[in-house]
Structure 1
């Protein structure tokens, strides 16, 4: 279908076309132009169909003079004014021998411009074994990303609420279908619901590793106290950087524990470090007995610990307090959690519930272990090995890898190593952030594939432009105008930069915006409470309401006067049937005031 003509600024890279204002044409759509290209090999001109993408689109009144007030012009000539539609088209190339070649000559002025056929566009983005994450924003054509593009790392960049977590979950789904092993660094527990919905995708294993005891998880992530250095331990405990004596007390206890481990052949934990400091508080005699118990010799500065305990008991006491606080977290233990115990098809590391220092420590520790396990496997070295490549998703990457000039984190070094060397060893990074200007530019630049969604902040736009050699100015200018769920994808994941609409997801995730109208609806709560009293002659208890809040509604069906509500409680499905105003729970039976019934009543109270 012919939609216009080439009219100006024709170069081998772009041209300006005038388009039929009545035709349904949209930004980012694809067009073709009949073109003649000189072939040096044949020594003659050959015909080709030049493929292009509309990167700017605007309308203009043709007869309006620029030196007149526009209102006067429109008022006088509104019936006869000519409207023109102008498009700036970026030249993508022409197909030859299954490849897309860049023309050396511009299209002719006056050449016809046609809307590209779906088949031409599909061929442009066809890949084998692709990750099918969505469809073109401009037309109904499926877009699949090149699986091998993951090897060059990916950055997912978007303003809050633009759909970056949605895209990340869709990418996780596609990678799982290809057999990938995935580890998600999750600062707020947003990805935890994946575990309970993984059965929808297929027979995959999903494990949640938690850091705080009171948060959701299948097992705790433990860090061996002696696996790292005492400075990092003091940072994790929250010891102020200037508290030199407190830090030195922790160092002395840690150093002694290290020697004890070597002597007795078994690891020790925070309890032993606290025992050393507590013994020092009791005096030199008690400390000598402890030293004699293990009969250690060497360069351990025993006298320094005695001197510190006698001259600055406050520092030792403060160190004890910090270590007690650290022990209460439950993260540090004599031994680290084995990788084999925690890894599944997808492992979600739920960091919610601990401070940023501990989060930083955990991420650095885990990423280093994963990377070293891959290095051992590839090089055939001794030690714990990881026999398959791993994709590491890091949500809120700006927390863990900020610019070195802004602040230093332990996890920066680990993530930087994955970004720079991971490709050789099968450790791939997906960095997700809403603030690219606050992520170290060296790490962002190592992510050669980028998925960029709506960005409004000018500093973040500038950071994206500096990190990407492939993002053209016209795409950068249009970033604030992207709809929620639309993304510009560029780099090794695609043959050409593409604007796509992310498909619907299968897996669940948390962390979406709260619906305030729903959250603050007291009338619904009151209606449920009134109905509950009518059924059970008592008010619903706080425990029932809190337990109900943890349930998820899977399905709600109405069959005549009968309503079925399917709920998900962990891995178990529960069905509540409400008939003639009376609920029956498939687990607790009829007439029982259980939390399943309360959740079902919340869903059906408006129709009862």
Structure 2
């Protein structure tokens, strides 16, 4: 076979994962034309094959070297060179069986090595089947489609990583569209912190804060007690020895136990805890705090200061000024004198900081999507959590985009953690239902993951929730996709559980090393290509792809709104100044939302 036009040379060294090949000096050209197609010998990242009877072993060229040496005869001194290829072994094909990753039979010294031609690549990648989606075209051939196993891509979790401008958003759109187009029963939630993806998926259901048709409602009472305590009053689990923290838990539990008759079904009050996702009035909670903080009593001893001995103020008609918790109006009490006489000042001052923080939260309109969640406000509202799940994961629209661009950054972590935990809990507790759980898996996709899944934040609610999916989600039908430009900042637990890596151009050495160490396949030669990849080109490694590959991702249209502005075109036009400019911009800043074109001028 050394006379074949595909012949490269022979193996001179073998170890557990690589072989070294000495390229034959008899090869007529370094760029042979085979079946009308030009092939480059020794191109980094290209495939070679090593036939051994009915077994063909495949590898990827990782490095090329040329060692010159002097060779003398009687008449002349001639300098010749030996060319060497380092090849990483990746898999084998036995007879007519399909290609499989992993090596069962290793090649040996002097075994032949041949170029892999286009037909060999078709034999490796095969045809599209019911369990795969097309992810792009192979970089070495525009005719060769590359497919990934959808089961392993989703349930073994995956990541799309790349520097800014490398094509992450376009790759995300390509993968999600391929899933939505090929699988009628698929369902996906895309967490979109910057509101970029709605334009790319016109048929999706997009939830936004303050949107009239599909508002994003995340009821505050969906939180666990630890999340609530931190969100409402800034308390942490380490405060559990403080009396006000324990009383806060008791009050919230009692408020929830009052509302055990729910539209999703009645709940046994004995099973209700402070963590149970049951509606209650947070304004009533504030009113209770304020009441005990400011009340005056006929008794001075703390353990005798009860609601039976309170000294309420009265209006001109003799009626008690009890206040109005819905409108955040506190109750009024008889003022206490300076001396030691009735009425006495409240001895319950523990809630001073809690009450001030909670009142500040309730008056902040940025949190209305949690405190006033539309039809999910309280027990008297028209909808319950089953309606929320139906909107997010049970509707006819297979893709739900949660546009979090209007969420204050300080609670983005809790919001994403809350959404993730709620969806995960629905899959866990519904794991045997015919319409959800293991019988209808779901993909949760996290854009800009490094901003809230940071490895350095040990108190991150979103990180804890997403890590749980990466560790346990597969068993209950929950898969995850993280999208990030800074993999070096992402939780190590998440990176360690990735089954598939889709890595676009990465120029930062720290990010490259993280991808290299997190790669499910030991193919450093492909990972080393990351700085030189073209825009929209990716290295794909892991369980879902038959063979680690360099792939071109097609350009999608419509696109997400993450592309660069057309700087030259914009700066080439003269813009006339106008006094009314920036009015709507300032309004958007103040309202923390993007209005349409209100206040725009032609300047």
Per the normalisation by structure 2, the TM-score is: 0.69
The secondary structure found in structure 2 opposite 1:88 is strand
Offset at residue 324 of structure 1 (A): 2.6
How far apart, CA to CA, are the structure 1 residues paired with 2:358 and 2:251? Answer: 15
How far apart, CA to CA, are the structure 1 residues paired with 2:59 and 2:236? Answer: 57
The secondary structure found in structure 1 opposite 2:564 is coil
Provide closer, same or farther for how the CA distance between residues 284 and 11 of structure 1 changes in structure 2, counting only shifts above 3 A.
same
Offset at residue 151 of structure 1 (A): 2.0
Provide closer, same or farther for how the CA distance between residues 481 and 97 of structure 1 changes in structure 2, counting only shifts above 3 A.
same
Q: Which runs of 5+ in 2 are unaligned?
A: 33-38, 72-76, 262-278, 298-304, 313-321, 323-344, 379-384, 586-594
Answer yes or no: is the 8 Å Cα contact 1:226–1:258 preserved in 2: no
How far apart, CA to CA, are the structure 2 residues paired with 1:152 and 1:159? Answer: 24
Which residue of 1 is the match for residue 169 of structure 2?
165
The secondary structure found in structure 2 opposite 1:219 is coil
Answer yes or no: is the 8 Å Cα contact 1:237–1:326 preserved in 2: no
Compare the two structures and name the one with the higher strand fraction: 1
The secondary structure found in structure 1 opposite 2:191 is strand
The superposition leaves residues 215-239 of structure 1 with CA deviations (integer Å, 9 ceiling, x where unpaired) of x685333333333345423433583
The superposition leaves residues 76-107 of structure 1 with CA deviations (integer Å, 9 ceiling, x where unpaired) of x9xx9989865433344343241347463536
Q: Residue 322 of structure 1 is aligned with which of 361, 370, 374? A: 361
Which residue of 2 is the match for residue 184 of structure 1?
190
How far apart, CA to CA, are the structure 2 residues paired with 1:186 and 1:85? Answer: 50
Answer yes or no: is the 8 Å Cα contact 2:46–2:60 preserved in 1: yes
Which residue of 1 is the match for residue 403 of structure 2?
350
- Pairing 1:224–2:223 present: no
Answer yes or no: is the 8 Å Cα contact 2:432–2:438 preserved in 1: no
- Pairing 1:495–2:546 present: yes
Q: Residue 158 of structure 2 is aligned with which of 150, 154, 159? A: 154
How far apart, CA to CA, are the structure 2 residues paired with 1:433 and 1:248? Answer: 42
The secondary structure found in structure 2 opposite 1:56 is strand
Provide closer, same or farther for how the CA distance between residues 56 and 290 of structure 1 changes in structure 2, counting only shifts above 3 A.
farther
Answer yes or no: is the 8 Å Cα contact 2:453–2:490 preserved in 1: yes
The secondary structure found in structure 2 opposite 1:155 is strand
The secondary structure found in structure 1 opposite 2:258 is helix
Answer yes or no: is the 8 Å Cα contact 1:395–1:431 preserved in 2: yes
The superposition leaves residues 45-77 of structure 1 with CA deviations (integer Å, 9 ceiling, x where unpaired) of x3655444333346x585799xxxxxxxxxxx9
The secondary structure found in structure 2 opposite 1:185 is strand
- Pairing 1:341–2:348 present: no
- The aligned runs of 1:270-419 (5 Å cut-off) are 270-280=282-292, 282-284=294-296, 288=307, 307-309=347-349, 313=352, 316-325=355-364, 328-333=367-372, 334-335=377-378, 338-343=388-393, 344-380=397-433, 388-403=440-455, 406-419=457-470
The superposition leaves residues 525-560 of structure 1 with CA deviations (integer Å, 9 ceiling, x where unpaired) of 45xx9xxxxxxxxx99869999xxxxxxxxxxxxxx
Provide closer, same or farther for how the CA distance between residues 442 and 269 of structure 1 changes in structure 2, counting only shifts above 3 A.
same
The secondary structure found in structure 2 opposite 1:208 is strand
The secondary structure found in structure 2 opposite 1:359 is helix
**Aligned residues, how many?**
492
Answer yes or no: is the 8 Å Cα contact 2:437–2:476 preserved in 1: no
Compare the two structures and name the one with the higher helix fraction: 1
Provide closer, same or farther for how the CA distance between residues 462 and 235 of structure 1 changes in structure 2, counting only shifts above 3 A.
same
RCO higher in structure (CA 8 A, sep ≥6): 2
Q: Residue 6 of structure 1 is aligned with which of 2, 5, 9? A: 9
Provide closer, same or farther for how the CA distance between residues 473 and 265 of structure 1 changes in structure 2, counting only shifts above 3 A.
closer
Answer yes or no: is the 8 Å Cα contact 1:63–1:81 preserved in 2: yes
How far apart, CA to CA, are the structure 2 residues paired with 1:598 and 1:124? Answer: 58
Offset at residue 429 of structure 1 (A): 0.9
Offset at residue 176 of structure 1 (A): 0.5
How far apart, CA to CA, are the structure 2 residues paired with 1:82 and 1:28? Answer: 26
Q: Which runs of 5+ in 1 are unaligned?
A: 37-45, 66-76, 199-205, 294-304, 530-538, 547-568, 571-593, 603-608
Which residue of 2 is the match for residue 139 of structure 1?
141
The superposition leaves residues 356-387 of structure 1 with CA deviations (integer Å, 9 ceiling, x where unpaired) of 44222122222222122222332359x99796
- Pairing 1:438–2:489 present: yes
Provide closer, same or farther for how the CA distance between residues 322 and 508 of structure 1 changes in structure 2, counting only shifts above 3 A.
same
The secondary structure found in structure 2 opposite 1:379 is coil
Moved more, 409-418 or 267-276: 267-276
RMSD (Å) for aligned C-alpha atoms: 4.3
Answer yes or no: is the 8 Å Cα contact 1:188–1:352 preserved in 2: yes
How far apart, CA to CA, are the structure 2 residues paired with 1:230 and 1:427? Answer: 25
Provide closer, same or farther for how the CA distance between residues 598 and 31 of structure 1 changes in structure 2, counting only shifts above 3 A.
farther
Which residue of 2 is the match for residue 533 of structure 1?
none
How far apart, CA to CA, are the structure 2 residues paired with 1:451 and 1:366? Answer: 25
Answer yes or no: is the 8 Å Cα contact 1:225–1:269 preserved in 2: no
Answer yes or no: is the 8 Å Cα contact 1:376–1:384 preserved in 2: no
How far apart, CA to CA, are the structure 1 residues paired with 2:282 and 2:438? Answer: 29
Offset at residue 400 of structure 1 (A): 3.4
How far apart, CA to CA, are the structure 1 residues paired with 2:220 and 2:106? Answer: 66
The superposition leaves residues 398-420 of structure 1 with CA deviations (integer Å, 9 ceiling, x where unpaired) of 333333x6422112232122112
Provide closer, same or farther for how the CA distance between residues 284 and 252 of structure 1 changes in structure 2, counting only shifts above 3 A.
farther
The secondary structure found in structure 1 opposite 2:562 is coil
